[in-house]
Amino acid sequence: MQYKKFLVYNICHKFPEDIKDLIYTMVKNDAAECIQRMYYNRVKLNLDILSYFLSMGSGVVSPYKFKRILVFFNNKIKYNFIHEPAIWIDAINDIYYPFGVNISHSPSIDTANDLRASIIERIKLSNASYYRTAIEWWEYF
Closest CA to 49 of 91, 106, 4: 91
Domain of 15, in residue numbers: 3-140
Total domain count for the chain? 1
Predicted model pTM:
0.69
Q: What is the pLDDT of residues 64-101, one digit of tens each?
A: 787 888 889 888 999 888 888 888 988 888 887 765 54
Q: Residue 98: its pLDDT value, please?
A: 62
Number of neighbouring beta carbons within 10 Å of residue 108: 16
DSSP code string of 17-66? HHHHHHHHHHHHHHHHHHHHHHHHHHHHHHHHHHHHHHHHTTS---HHHH
